[in-house]
Structure 1
């Protein structure tokens, strides 16, 4: 594999470098205006000065809520510049999850929006290490008791710039990001400066980012991958907090966006709207559907699987490739991406990003498998985490390979095709069943709005397919006949071990903030019900 080179500098050095290279260039654009790289760099200095003053030392962990706001970028780089570690606080999680993160990571100061600050203040007696809560969005300075408005906090810091580092080690901890917890309690992933800088360079190379690029961030949260890669490239970032796909396309057109980052669920909604618009009436849509934004060159999706049919339809209608990527918190996070000059809608998550190696192994023996053979995906590269909180170094196989827990196969050209999570796959007799493979067949039926598959415990076969389904028209007459017809049509295209044996109508599929089905909670409920049925 060719040698992949990336700069050995602290993560906040990416911003400092961008500010020196082109200080007047746009770094972040929001509904309130734009901030140049020089302005963002200066604001990061203010955050750093406040933390040096408030903490009086380096090496602490600072919670930063990754809201889709320019102050996340300033707090993120400012925390790192002050010699402390960023702990990402998801503002969408409930109180119990927030407490778990703050306890496990020993958070001492937190920069959070008002709603999150209220939760932290209420549990302050159970978080003895938390010394300060700073509210980043306080209207007119109104904040919860025992919290500080951001403006007051920053004004309390001395005007001097932060002290320079005495020495820099790229392998020191920079960020702690907690896993989604879909297969267990969320774990703190320790990422180093090397991990994050390398992945910024890898992402920028894979996505073809440069100083002329304008990236539109249409995600519910501000992820460091998108922030770091754009700053590394000197690209402008446009933040779009509105969840409506049509609004994102309109903003992309008005701001000259070249790269649009969004979620598969939002692309699915847009594809569904496009299909509806092609019908006889073409009316009743929540938004008018704009055409392709003028400078747009690519749409990029990640976090969960994007249906190939959606990618193909959107690619045709927008006239640009709609691409899928793959990664996880433990890998900073990106490891694979389809390339902008590739083919849309193949079902692949792409080839490894520069400096990354991937292989598929037999999950029982660890023996590497050839192209087309299905097994567990393993990855290695400079973006591999330092380890989990409290667990030392990362769990790796011989040769430094990290086992992802995902099941997949590679094509002859190195493209990776994911099948499922190792924990989500279940056995019917001796055959493995992939829930996502069954879901893809069911979802192709236009009467299905959404669906999820989990294994229902079975004393004879091990487990059978249970299907939870959200109907596109739940008020249609003959509900049982509709369900029977959907299941019959799907089973006709499924292998014997994949046959749907149980089906239920759901109001909605439970999903994580990134759009992944919450199979773990569904499995718990089904096990209880299966046990109750067996004992009846």
Structure 2
């Protein structure tokens, strides 16, 4: 693996370096607001200076920063870490329960949030005794409650420059909460080095440079996209209009080279006809080089339609909050549907057997483990490495997949009892009704492992048709015993750095051969098939579970194999 060197900078140093290189260049442009790198750096200085005064110079104070798709998010995010405080990322769409969990768990003392979130927090003040100050971004003073400050007022009263000294790259810069698809969201501790390393890794994987223009059509401002663009010196354009055709017009007007979109919106783009406003197909601009699907997995059919409509590859990747977030990515010039790509620079990936934990060979299925400089420092309240991080630095993701001959990762399932990880990334082979069984499955898995049994897959009784290679299925009548088999090519759903894959129906005629003495293949009709425990004459029924759409569901058009043995 080529040597990867992490820049020796604090997180806000990415912005400082960009401002020194190109102070007049546009860093980020939103609706009615455009900030150059120099302006953004100066604004971050004012935020940092105000926080230093408010926090009385205490390091590590936790400050809530709402991930609003607005240029001011960049200023409050970098200003917070520049002050020596820790940024706690707040989803702006969160309700009272979600906000209470994030703010109480992290011990947030001040927050930069939009007006809606400020209103909710103001009503919850009695439940959040540590919250001292609420600052509203992008709102006029007259619209605010008396207990809430406007960012404009805060900046006017702030000193012009912070007094912060040198920063330890190993110190925590950010707390980001997981999606909580299988339990309460957990706060992930990300250091300056984690985030700076992943900024460079993402910029290299996405081929960002100073000539790049990124069009961000996501509902939130993900720190990964902000940091990677700032590292590269790229221009960012934020499109807050949720309409897919509006985003294409914005892309063309901005001369975008990289388009970041939510799969739900890309599905609409793939399905919709001509632009309703013009009656014509809406091109995304002649400079566009790739569309990056960020969030729930994009259906292969939709990816093909978007690729044909725009004439550029549609790229997906893999990652999770615990890994800052990106670990794998398809490359624009190496587009292979069915995989989430090869590891990004400086990242190692291996798969280990579910029972022995011994590394497996290419095409063999196992649990995905990752090692790299982007691996988190630990979880909030448990300031150490995660329990699933091995002594030698390998992080066990809980995802099950296999590697092809070129080192590209294909995902097929998730281990039962392993909490869902960052940002809604964790794949699911279970349908919604299985969520209530998670605690029991976790206990059963722990007991089974203690007794020397193999871990149970979340998708019990399911198998995925992917590239040729052994894949683990679980026979329901065999107490969760994983069964290895080979499968023919089919659709293996990809997963991006911020979401769950969505199932895509298998093409007609796809078949999966049955190995002697193994469970039935998913595409077989009901009838007699082999079970490794009960023998070669177990009647089975093949049916397709309804798992389409919805957060937390992961499938690659698998069929559920139900054993009819008593």
TM-score range, shorter chain: 0.7 to 0.9
- Is 1:37 aligned with 2:30? no
Counterpart of 1:525 in structure 2 is none
**Would the alpha carbon gap of residues 503 and 417 (structure 1) be closer, same or farther in structure 2, given more than 3 Å must change?**
closer
Contact kept? 1:510, 1:518, Cα under 8 Å: no
Distance in 1 between the 2:122 and 2:281 partners? 43
Counterpart of 2:84 in structure 1 is 83
SS in 2 for 1:404: strand
Contact kept? 1:258, 1:298, Cα under 8 Å: yes
Counterpart of 1:448 in structure 2 is none
- Is 1:380 aligned with 2:371? yes
Counterpart of 2:3 in structure 1 is 3
Correspondence for 2:392 among 393, 399, 412: 399
Distance in 1 between the 2:104 and 2:393 partners? 30
- Is 1:412 aligned with 2:405? yes
**Would the alpha carbon gap of residues 243 and 421 (structure 1) be closer, same or farther in structure 2, given more than 3 Å must change?**
farther
Counterpart of 2:64 in structure 1 is 63
Distance in 2 between the 1:132 and 1:498 partners? 60
**Would the alpha carbon gap of residues 140 and 169 (structure 1) be closer, same or farther in structure 2, given more than 3 Å must change?**
closer
Shift of 1:353: 0.3
SS in 2 for 1:268: helix
Deviations 1:393-420 (A, max 9, x none): 2231242100111111111100011113
Higher fraction of helix? 1
Gaps of 5+ in 1: 442-457, 463-485, 520-536
Contact kept? 1:141, 1:149, Cα under 8 Å: no
Counterpart of 2:326 in structure 1 is 334
Distance in 2 between the 1:124 and 1:267 partners? 39
Counterpart of 2:251 in structure 1 is 252
Shift of 1:461: 8.6
Shift of 1:30: 1.3
SS in 2 for 1:125: helix
**Would the alpha carbon gap of residues 235 and 498 (structure 1) be closer, same or farther in structure 2, given more than 3 Å must change?**
farther
Counterpart of 1:483 in structure 2 is none
How many residues get paired?
A: 464
**Would the alpha carbon gap of residues 372 and 460 (structure 1) be closer, same or farther in structure 2, given more than 3 Å must change?**
closer
Distance in 2 between the 1:164 and 1:210 partners? 29
Contact kept? 2:415, 2:458, Cα under 8 Å: no
Contact kept? 1:112, 1:136, Cα under 8 Å: yes
Counterpart of 1:210 in structure 2 is 209
- Is 1:319 aligned with 2:311? yes
**Would the alpha carbon gap of residues 436 and 352 (structure 1) be closer, same or farther in structure 2, given more than 3 Å must change?**
farther
The alignment's TM-score, normalised by the length of structure 1, stands at 0.80
SS in 1 for 2:384: coil
Residue range with higher mean Cα deviation, 417-426 or 238-247: 417-426
Distance in 1 between the 2:281 and 2:465 partners? 26
SS in 2 for 1:168: coil
Counterpart of 1:421 in structure 2 is 414
**Would the alpha carbon gap of residues 141 and 19 (structure 1) be closer, same or farther in structure 2, given more than 3 Å must change?**
farther
Contact kept? 1:307, 1:347, Cα under 8 Å: no
Shift of 1:425: 4.2
Gaps of 5+ in 2: 417-427, 431-440, 442-453, 467-475, 481-504, 513-521, 525-539, 556-566
Shift of 1:336: 0.5
Counterpart of 1:243 in structure 2 is 242
Distance in 2 between the 1:438 and 1:302 partners? 25
- Is 1:308 aligned with 2:300? yes
SS in 1 for 2:12: helix
